[in-house]
Homo-oligomer: A and B are copies of this chain.
Amino acid sequence: MQKIKVAIVGFGLIGSGVARLLLEHKDRLARHAGRILWLEKAVDPDLTRSRNVDLPRGILTDDLTEVTQNPEIKVVAQLIGGLEPARTVMLALLESGKDVVTANKALLAEHGPELFDRARELGRSIAFEASVAGGVPIINAIGQCLSGNQIESLHGILNGTSNFILTQMEERGATFEDAVRDAQHRGYAEADPTLDVDGTDAAQKLAILAQLGFGARVAWTDIPRRGINSLDVADVHFARELGYRIKQLAIARLTGDGLELHVSPTLVKMGMPLAEVREAYNAISVIGDAVGRVFFHGLGAGQMPTASAVVADMIDTAVGRTAITFRTLELWSRRKARVNVGNYANASGRFYMRFNVKDHPGVMSQVAGVLGKHTISIASVLQHEAGGEGEEIPLLIMTHRTTEGAASRACQEIEAFEFVHAPSVRMWVRD
């Protein structure tokens, strides 16, 4: 059987998972690929750390040129995280004639145009299934399986750490801080979980999906995003009382105003598939004009789920499917973007609002007055009885459909009332 030599650059958790699949399951990969994927080199500066895989002698090296200068190595899994040296290594691999597979969403969200252009110039390919939602084959689904469709919207839970934390807050009543510690303890969150919980990670993944699904060229830093790090467990409970769960959604949606793009904690109606995604799982709900709604759910991170996606890409690349897809889709090419990103202020939907108000006469009429002035209709109000007049109590309002801009202006005005105590809270609602 034909043998194709492959390498891994960046031999950490994911890299050693990929090595395990290549070494321990060589036969079944050969059966699925019609050829043997032969692990020739694994490159990492750390030659001594113990990993949960036994590499045969001579494979592990700290010298990248053992890959770039070996013309027999055709496919490389580039698994270095962060921007540098990942970008430089990626360019060096492409320039030395390798087809590259990567799991690095930050790199693609930041340098996608440069890397994809360079790959095209060199006649090489980049595969990136593992960069979004780990083991869930969403890149392949959008890029290949749904190619008869105009994608109308994507709603995704793309950050497993945030979803784990939200699940702990909802089901165990944990505070955000407690839930973060629990996530760290279980290995779901980094020592510094900022990029996961502030919406950065999800926005980077959304930028990739927006390019793939809609041809939108958008810098991830331009995507409006709110993390869950400012979320009060009280709102988790109020949402539940109203029949919703709070989920961190990454949204891309075609509207008359262009592509709506944002990452936001959102109240999702219980019973909707996205509301029922628990723990560290990822999920994506895609609507295509022909296929209708398709829903994908699985593990978005972790060693073996991510390695599963990387190895599938290595097989696709080895057999030649990636080259075709890469040429055909022309991602991040210099041609005009197919869709413009809309003004976030025009994004429309329903809102949940919480104002901490002093319970005295006239509060409700003044709050309602401001909403009315901004033509925001109230769908429902929830205010529990206060202990005594003058006490501060939460006033919860669910609005009918309005715009982000109107809701934002109305909330600012309401917050200016002296009977309202900061912080007030505003979140999108999906049902």
Residues of A that sit less than 8 Å from B by CB: 17, 21, 25, 28-29, 31-34, 129, 135-137, 140-141, 144-150, 215, 271, 273, 276, 288-299, 302, 304-305, 307-312, 315-316, 319-321, 324-325, 327-330, 338
Contacts and interface: CB of A to CB of B under 8 A. Distances in A.
A306 to B, nearest CB: 9
Nearest to A316: B144
Given A144-B321, A145-B129, A148-B312, A305 B328 contact: no
A315 to B, nearest CB: 5
A325 B330 CA distance: 22
Given A32-B147, A321-B144, A321-B321, A305 B291 contact: yes
Given A321-B325, A328-B32, A141 B148 contact: no
Contacts of A320: 320, 324
Contact of A137 (B28, B135, B141, B273): B141
Contact of A292 (B29, B147, B299): B299
A273 B298 CA distance: 11
Contacts of A215: 31
A64 B162 CA distance: 57
A295 B291 CA distance: 17
A29 B146 CA distance: 10
Contacts of A307: 148, 290
A299 B31 CA distance: 31
Contact of A291 (B147, B271, B304, B329): B304
A312 B144 contact: yes
Contacts of A296: 294-297
A308 B291 CA distance: 6
A157 to B, nearest CB: 13
Given A135-B292, A291-B304, A294-B297, A140 B144 contact: yes
Given A129-B145, A295-B296, 20 more contacts: A17-B290, A25-B148, A29-B148, A32-B329, A33-B328, A34-B330, A135-B290, A135-B291, A137-B145, A140-B141, A144-B316, A144-B321, A148-B308, A148-B310, A273-B276, A289-B304, A290-B304, A290-B311, A292-B302, A295-B298
B290 A21 contact: yes
Contacts of A291: 135, 298-299, 304-305, 308-309
State the number of copies, please: 2
A308 B295 contact: no
A292 B298 contact: yes
A136 B294 CA distance: 7
B312 A146 contact: yes
A304 B146 CA distance: 12
A328 B319 contact: yes
Contact of A146 (B137, B292, B324, B327): B137
A33 B147 contact: yes
Contacts of A293: 298-299
B290 A308 contact: yes
B294 A298 contact: yes
A145 B312 contact: yes
Contacts of A315: 147-148
Contacts of A135: 288, 290-292, 294
Contact of A295 (B297, B304, B319): B297
Nearest to A271: B276
Contacts of A292: 135, 298-299, 302, 304-305
Contacts of A324: 319-321, 324
A332 to B, nearest CB: 14
Nearest to A18: B148
